[in-house]
Chains A and B, each alone.
Chain A
Amino acid sequence: DAKTTQPTSMDCAEGRAANLPCNHSTISGNEYVYWYRQIHSQGPQYIIHGLKNNETNEMASLIITEDRKSSTLILPHATLRDTAVYYCIDMLGSEKLVFGKGTKLTVNP
């Protein structure tokens, strides 16, 4: 079973920032935080990962709290194409990904 907890669903207006929270209550010191998303009927898509520091790439920003028990994925200017299920996963190395139910983000026009 997935080790993380996420809200079931969220809504966001197009052009606004989408902030998706995740709780990692059992994360260990050397486990990374990964975020993936799955647009309807497509394969999961890697978004971003981090260990302790905040990270940013061309898709999103990742904020990890100092105690590492929670993280937030930020899509700075959400578009309709960002409508998807978003998964946060904590994992070591090249292990299997364990997907939970994720957060269904709906971006509204």
Chain B
Amino acid sequence: EDQVTQSPEALRLQEGESSSLNCSYTVSGLRGLFWYRQDPGKGPEFLFTLYSAGEEKEKERLKATLTKKESFLHITAPKPEDSATYLCAVLYSGAGSYQLTFGKGTKLSVIP
């Protein structure tokens, strides 16, 4: 069973059409939730870290929120350059150490 589930798997938006990406998790002992952007053939680029339920972070057209079970990445008035795969990762304490687990990502395509 996946511990980190991202939905939808793929999302196509018209330029300017706002939407949200979801990252749900089932781990306990959450230490942090991370959002990354990954362009094709590239390594992930850090966007946000969220540590506790109720926390919000913003950067340009992106806003990340966190609850006890999930996180949302809201994209307001997206532009074609926002097209990428967005990954979330959950850091939690387990087996005496920290574990970092990634979701499979949401591939966002923004059409001009």
Whether A and B are associated in the same complex: the answer reads no
